Chain A
Amino acid sequence: MAQADVPLIDLDYAFSIRLATSGRIEFEGPMRSRVFEPVSGGEVFGPRLQGRVVPQSGADYATNNLMDAHLMLQASDGTWIYMNLIGYEHKVTADGSPYFRVAPYFDTPVGKWDWLGKTVFIGTAERRHNPDQMLMHIYALR
């Protein structure tokens, strides 16, 4: 089929999340590997959402290297936002550190922030240390 069939897709940088983590636990089970990496805090910043990561509100519950994080954010106006983020870890970068491709989903109250719960997002993420954190840049699909 011709490339002419392929519609263009537009991505807009929406916001970034710094997710501080601590106390990672991981083990190998009979069916799959399991990670529990609690979220200790962090910030949300950027053009379309500002706020904080609610400390101790959740964790990454990754299985077989597929991230599956569940946690709460709070917008700067006080609105509670639930986030479920899935992501793939890629272990090949020049300096040997992993990078991630993520897709967050949100639930919010009806109102100013409910576009978050109707929009598909993808993002990049990298792991940083001292202190342990994930830095994620999130893009909205138009």
Chain B
Amino acid sequence: MAELQIPGIELEYAFSISMNFAERIDFVGPRRGKGYVPPASGTIYGPLLQGRVVPYSGADFAIFKELSQGIKANTHYMLQAEDGTWIYINNRGYLNRSPDPDNPGKTKLYFRMTPLFEAPAGPHEWLARTMIVGTGERLANPDRSQFTYYRVK
């Protein structure tokens, strides 16, 4: 295996989503913790997709063991591109905590995602054929979550 060449992997910035969440519900059941966080609104912008998150079109149905140990996200929403096209997104990934450089001694939540999309044949169908990775963080004033998505070339 010594001569094996490991190929590089390249990412291209695709689009961003700024999301507003109003409700955050979570509880611990007999088997696991469950979250329910629906999107109240959201804006999609960037070079490869522009549009909106359809309000209350779904939620993050997250699971966790203890909230402080991190969360496994599993979101189901609808998006609508600027040209009117409906797009389904299933965002899978993790919400973890890291030290907050702006608040010593505190941590902040950050997101890492690999979303799956379904889109009709046409200008947006590449979303349903392409591996995409995303990062995100929760921001304050106003309370929102900012996601950045990259196409895996």
Interface residues in chain A, defined as those with a beta carbon under 8 Å from any beta carbon in chain B: 1, 3, 5-7, 9, 11, 13, 16, 45, 66, 86-88, 90, 101-103, 105, 118-120, 122-124, 137, 139, 141
Contact = CB atoms under 8 A, between A and B. Distances in A.
Given A1-B46, A6-B148, A122 B112 contact: no
Given A1-B46, A101-B152, A119 B112 contact: yes
A25 B19 CA distance: 42
B9 A139 contact: yes
A7 B135 CA distance: 9
Contacts of B139: none
B72 to A, nearest CB: 8
Contacts of A105: 92
Interface stretch (B77-85, B101-109, B126-134): B126-134
A17 B112 CA distance: 22
Interface in B123-153: 129-131, 133, 135, 148, 150, 152
Contacts of A119: 94, 112
A120 B13 contact: no
Contact of A88 (B1, B13, B94, B131): B131
B25 interface: no
Given A9-B133, A16-B4, A120 B94 contact: yes
A16 to B, nearest CB: 7
Contacts of B150: 9
Contacts of A45: 1
A11 B9 contact: yes
B16 interface: yes
Nearest to B47: A3
Contacts of A7: 135, 148
B13 A6 contact: yes
23 contacts: A1-B45, A1-B46, A3-B13, A5-B16, A5-B148, A6-B148, A9-B11, A9-B133, A11-B9, A11-B11, A86-B114, A90-B129, A101-B152, A118-B70, A119-B94, A120-B93, A120-B112, A120-B114, A122-B152, A124-B9, A137-B6, A137-B9, A141-B133
Contact of A13 (B6, B11, B46, B152): B6
Contacts of B148: 5-7, 9
